[in-house]
């Protein structure tokens, strides 16, 4: 059984939904080219300015469809987080063995500790987003979120950290490449 992936908060901004739609259309056109050149920063900025002008010139009726989609995305996210939380708890119960009395040296290695912390961060970032949405406050910056999760990680006992350490060690034994952005 594979570990469930955290839900993506989705685009909850009407403007970003429109920008993503236009970007997908542009990329579909580029895929038809035999060997498309890479985008330059100037091209990306120019494209964004054009799309921004389209957005600002758009009628309220047309904007409404993006606002409704953003609202559906915001409403769906808590349901996705709840499903993810249930699936993750089941996965941990089925996969992670009980913690030994003495933590093996391989679980104490610095590299394992760092990647276990990153696994924890990836798992709980969607929860931070959900708490921000439920409290109807602005989504915290990456730096603020990282500080919160770092504080939470530092306060965790070895028993609470064990599932993350075990998961990283198991992946390492399987030859999985460590990366925060798996």
Q: Give residue-wise pLDDT tens across range 18-74.
A: 988 898 888 888 777 777 777 778 888 888 899 999 999 999 999 999 999 988 888
151, 31 Cβ separation under 8 angstroms = no
Q: How confident is the model at residue 182 (pLDDT cuts 50, 70, 90)?
A: very low
Spacing of C-alpha 163 from chain mean position: 20
Q: Long-range pairs for 31-37 at CB < 8 Å and ≥24 separation?
A: none
DSSP 107-165: HHSHHHHHHHHHHHHHHHHHHHHHHHHHTT-PPPPHHHHHHHHHHHHHH--HHHHHHHH
pLDDT tens digits along 73-131: 888 888 888 898 889 888 888 888 888 777 777 777 777 888 888 888 877 777 766 66
**pLDDT tens digits along 128-180:** 666 666 566 666 677 777 788 888 888 888 888 888 888 888 877 777 665 54
């Amino acid at each position: 059984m594979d570990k469930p992936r955290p839900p993506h908060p989705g685009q909850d901004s009407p403007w970003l939904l429109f920008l993503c739609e236009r970007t997908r259309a542009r990329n579909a056109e580029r895929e038809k080219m035999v060997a498309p050149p890479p985008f330059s920063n100037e091209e990306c900025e120019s494209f964004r300015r054009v799309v921004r002008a389209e957005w600002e010139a758009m009628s309220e009726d047309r904007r409404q469809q993006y606002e409704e989609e953003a609202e559906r995305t915001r409403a769906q996210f808590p349901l996705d987080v709840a499903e993810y939380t249930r699936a993750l708890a089941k996965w941990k119960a089925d996969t992670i063995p009980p913690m030994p009395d003495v933590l093996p040296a391989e679980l104490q290695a610095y590299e394992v500790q760092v990647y276990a912390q990153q696994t924890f961060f990836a798992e709980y970032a969607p929860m931070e987003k959900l708490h921000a949405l439920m409290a109807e406050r602005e989504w915290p910056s990456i730096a603020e979120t990282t500080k919160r999760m770092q504080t939470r990680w530092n306060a965790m006992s070895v028993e609470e950290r064990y599932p993350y350490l075990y998961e990283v060690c198991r992946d390492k034994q399987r030859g999985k490449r460590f990366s925060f952005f798996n």
